Every structure is written in C-alpha cells, then in structure tokens.
C-alpha cells in the first residue's frame, strides 16, 4: 500500500502559517502595542525621574518643569516651578523668541538659588528636544543682551557642543538682535528685571549619555542646566526591555486623562494595577483629585491694581463678593446683573472665534462700572484661566488703562496697533506665566481693538 503523499493535491490542502499566527505585521503590531502599554510608559517615566532627581541633587539646584512634558519627570514635592519653552519655536527656520511666552517668572527663582535645572524630554530618535538645544539658548541670549548690555561675554548664543551644525548656529545668531529689539519694544521695566535677575545666565546641558559635566568656573553668572530626562533609544522599544523614550512627551495619546500630579500621588497603586483595569482606575483617581483640588487664587495683573484673572472654581461661592465677575464659559444670565456678566463661550476654537462677538458687550459693561468707580476689582474667569479669560483681560487693559496701569477715560478714541496690544499682553504673561491664549483668541481681540475706534 502506498503511503499518504506529503504534497498537496488540491487548494484545500495548502497550508499557510499566517492562518494560525496572523501576518507578521499584525504580530509585530501586537508586540509593539504590548510594549507601549500604560504601565511601561509610567515605569519609563519613573526611571527617568530618578535620573532627574540625581541631577538636581548633584548640582544642588531646584527643578523646573518645561511644560507640559517636564512635569511627568518631577515629583510634585521636588518641583520648584514651571517654564514654557516650545520646541516649535526652535525648529529649523523658525528660531523664534516668543513674545507670548516670556518665562520671566524664572528670573527670581534663578537669582534666589544661583541657577536651576530645566527638565524636558523627547521621543525616539533624538537625544535632546529643540526646546533645550535651541529655544532656551535663544531666550538666554536675548535676556543677556537686553538686561546686561555691558556683559558682552554672555551675549553670544550658547549651544550644546557638537549638537547643531555651524550653519544653523550662525543663522540663529544673526536673528538675536531683532529678537532683542522686539523684546525691548514690549516696554517692560528692564531695570527691574535686571535687578531681579542679578547676573546674566550661562547654560549647561545634561543628558543620560553625558550626565554630570562640570559647572563653569567663576561666579559672574547664574547657571541654568538643561536636562533631557530620557535615555536615547536607537532601535524599537521592544529592544529596550519595554523602556520608552520620552513617554511623557505624548501623554495625551495614551494617559486616559492621567496628569502628573495624579500619577505621583497614586504611583504605587497605579503601577500595581493590571493594565486592563487602569483606564477605570485612572478615571476614578482623576475625579477624586478634582474634588479635592485646591482653589487657585486670583492673579492680579500689574501695573493695574484691580484687574484679576483665574481658573473657574468648582464652587462659585468661593469667589470673593468684592469682584465684578466676567465668566467666559457660564451661560448667559436670564436678567442683567450689575455685578456679573456671563459670555456663554465654549472652550476651544469655536469659543475663541465667538469671543469677538462678545467683546463689545463686555466693553460697555466694564466701561459703565469703571466710570462710576475706577478702583472696582474685576475678575475674569474661564475653565482653564489661560485662554478666553486672557483675551478678555487683554481687551480691558488695552481699552481702559494707561502705561502706569491707571484707569483712563477712553475718550477721545484712538486706533490701536499690534505693538500696543503686545505690550499689554506682556503685562499678563509676566504676571501669569501659564497664560496661553490661542491664536484664535488673540485674533478675536485684535479684530475688536483694531477694527473699531477706542
């Protein structure tokens, strides 16, 4: 009897391994997905945070988070403050000094401690984010030239050694003088800023590959250390045993709303929870954190004595009755009020665009109040305290206050230009460093102020 043939004699006899294992691409995709789990990301962040704290301890300098990424790598009890340097400002061909993100809140802290460590990270493929390699060096050069014109040794842009090409360094250097002119055009009190800073700034870069370079000799400048928190991954994450470079850099894509404060407050509980149960646990922890969150105090916008801004509190009963209140998000009141105006704007682009339609009513409302009592305290709130409220406050500052921050009768009316509006915006960002009005919000304010007489 002939044995059974091992060769297929029909299509049905054909065997494809993919029928059992799936395609190679789907297998790799599944492996990568498991590697990029929430737990692996948070463990990677914890590992990077340990390095960051070693850097702080080594140099005996406080930790500053470059938001939003940097806060993931600093336990809240170690965080001395925040900075807002965007990598996009340093991208090739951009090389900007942001007039909206002045980061002047750093001056006092750096002077007090003799320096600081600014923490950021970047995803696979790079050892340092553009914020640390270009945006901060541009900022540092601008402030050194504007505040310390006599300290010429600190005027050139300071770059990490052998990181950028000579052509890009040269092109960045050529733009600094125009950035200085733009900064000076804000008409801030440069003497006060110089007194606050005390000394010019010098930069030092720390990475996992070059962790502890020596501090520059001498005591003529404050040292700002730029720390890139993550190890550089050259291959896929699977080759790193689950370690994920720059996990905090794209948290919106994986964190289910988890924030750095909630993570650090509940770190052990989160890391000991099964992956499948994490989304529901995170939702629960976020809700608990929101209910227990401290009330954010209102921020005064100097040089005025009566214009304030803050994030909407959970309970309006916590708002002091001395304020006239403008709530950017709450629905319109059924009856007019002498103490309150609701704008009914939704957060985001739609609300920012519709802000233009609301500003005339706000202008009339506040005009009638300040004409009767120019010292009346006015509080503007929105869900974040960073966007729509900033736009409303900007309109008020441009419309009703002179260079000294004093109320002035807005007649005779005169047109405004963008330089004037930028100067008033600098008042806000100097007082509230996390103010971050969207482009659409600023366009609405500019349209209102520039298309109608004031």
In a domain, 395, yes or no: yes
Same domain, 263 and 314: no
Residue 235: its pLDDT value, please? 63
CATH value at residue 327: 3.90.190.10
Alpha helices in 131-189 (DSSP H): 136-147, 166-184
Residue 18: its pLDDT value, please? 54
Q: Which of these three, 182, 215, 248, is where a domain ends?
A: 248
Beta strands in 187-279 (DSSP E): 201-206, 222-228
Same domain, 154 and 214: yes
Residue 125: its pLDDT value, please? 77
User: Domain containing 265: what range?
Assistant: 256-293
Same domain, 239 and 267: no
Same domain, 168 and 212: yes
Same domain, 261 and 153: no
How far apart (Å, rounded) are the C-alpha atoms in residues 47 and 72?
11
3-state secondary structure (DSSP) of residue 199: coil
Residue 13: its pLDDT value, please? 56
- pTM assigned to the model: 0.87
CB-neighbour burial class of residue 289 (10 A; exposed 0-12, middle 13-18, buried 19+): middle
Query: Which residues, 6+ apart, have CB-to-CB distance to 74 below 8 Å?
Result: 49, 52, 53, 63, 65, 119, 260
Same domain, 200 and 100: yes
Same domain, 236 and 355: no
Same domain, 57 and 204: yes
Q: How many domains is the chain built from? A: 3
How far apart (Å, rounded) are the C-alpha atoms in residues 99 and 231?
32
Ranges of residues in the chain with a pLDDT under 70 are 1-35, 235-240, 411-413, 452-454
Residue 217: its pLDDT value, please? 84
Same domain, 274 and 400: no
Same domain, 107 and 137: yes
**Are residues 267 and 240 in contact, defined by beta-carbon separation less than 8 angstroms?**
no
In a domain, 191, yes or no: yes
Q: What are phi and psi of 372, to 5 degrees?
A: -85, -40
Angle between helical axes of 349-372 and 439-451 (0-180°, round to 10): 50
Same domain, 116 and 180: yes
Residue 27: its pLDDT value, please? 46
Q: Which of these three, 293, 320, 346, is where a domain ends?
A: 293
Q: Which of these three, 270, 293, 316, is where a domain ends?
A: 293
Residue 12: its pLDDT value, please? 56
Same domain, 337 and 400: yes
Residue 162: its pLDDT value, please? 86
Residue 24: its pLDDT value, please? 52
pLDDT tens readout for residues 121-135: 998 778 899 999 999
């Amino acid at each position: 009897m002939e044995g059974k043939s091992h060769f297929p004699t029909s299509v049905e006899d054909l065997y494809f391994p993919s029928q059992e294992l799936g395609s190679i691409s789907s297998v790799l995709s599944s492996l990568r997905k498991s590697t990029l789990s929430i737990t692996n990301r948070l463990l990677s962040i914890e590992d990077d945070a340990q390095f960051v704290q070693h850097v702080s301890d080594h140099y005996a300098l406080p930790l500053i988070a470059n938001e939003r990424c940097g806060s993931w790598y600093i336990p809240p009890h170690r965080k001395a403050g925040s900075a807002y340097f965007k990598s996009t400002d340093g991208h090739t061909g951009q090389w900007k000094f942001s007039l909206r993100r002045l980061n002047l809140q750093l001056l006092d802290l750096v002077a007090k401690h003799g320096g600081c460590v600014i923490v950021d990270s970047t995803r696979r493929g790079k050892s340092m984010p553009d914020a640390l390699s270009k945006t901060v060096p541009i900022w540092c050069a601008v402030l050194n030239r504007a505040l310390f014109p006599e300290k010429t040794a600190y005027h050139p842009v300071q770059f990490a050694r052998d990181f950028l090409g000579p052509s890009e360094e040269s092109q960045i250097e050529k733009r600094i003088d125009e950035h200085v002119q733009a900064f000076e055009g804000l008409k801030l009190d440069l003497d006060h800023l110089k007194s606050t800073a005390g000394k010019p700034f010098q930069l030092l870069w720390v990475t996992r590959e070059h962790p502890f370079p020596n501090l520059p000799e001498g005591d003529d400048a404050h040292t700002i250390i730029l720390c890139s928190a993550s190890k550089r991954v050259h291959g896929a994450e699977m080759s790193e045993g689950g370690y994920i470079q720059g996990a905090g850099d794209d948290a919106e894509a994986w964190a289910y709303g988890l924030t750095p404060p909630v993570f650090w407050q509940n770190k052990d509980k989160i890391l000991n929870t099964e992956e499948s149960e994490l989304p529901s646990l995170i939702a629960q922890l976020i809700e608990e954190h929101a209910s227990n969150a401290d009330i954010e105090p209102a921020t005064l916008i100097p040089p005025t004595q009566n214009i304030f801004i803050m994030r909407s509190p959970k309970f309006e009963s916590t708002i002091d009755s001395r304020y006239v209140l403008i709530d950017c998000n709450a629905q319109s009141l059924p009856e007019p009020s002498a103490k309150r105006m609701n704008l009914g704007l939704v957060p985001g682009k739609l609300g920012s665009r519709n802000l233009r339609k609301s500003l005339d009513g706000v202008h009339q409302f506040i005009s009638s109040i300040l004409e009767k009592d120019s010292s009346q305290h006015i509080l503007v709130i929105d869900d974040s305290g960073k966007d729509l409220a900033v736009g409303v406050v900007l309109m008020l500052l441009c419309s009703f206050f002179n260079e000294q921050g004093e109320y002035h009768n807005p007649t005779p009316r005169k047109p405004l230009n963008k330089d004037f509006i930028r100067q008033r915006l600098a008042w806000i960002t100097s007082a509230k460093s996390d103010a971050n009005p969207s482009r659409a919000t600023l366009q609405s304010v500019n349209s209102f102020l520039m298309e109608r007489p004031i």
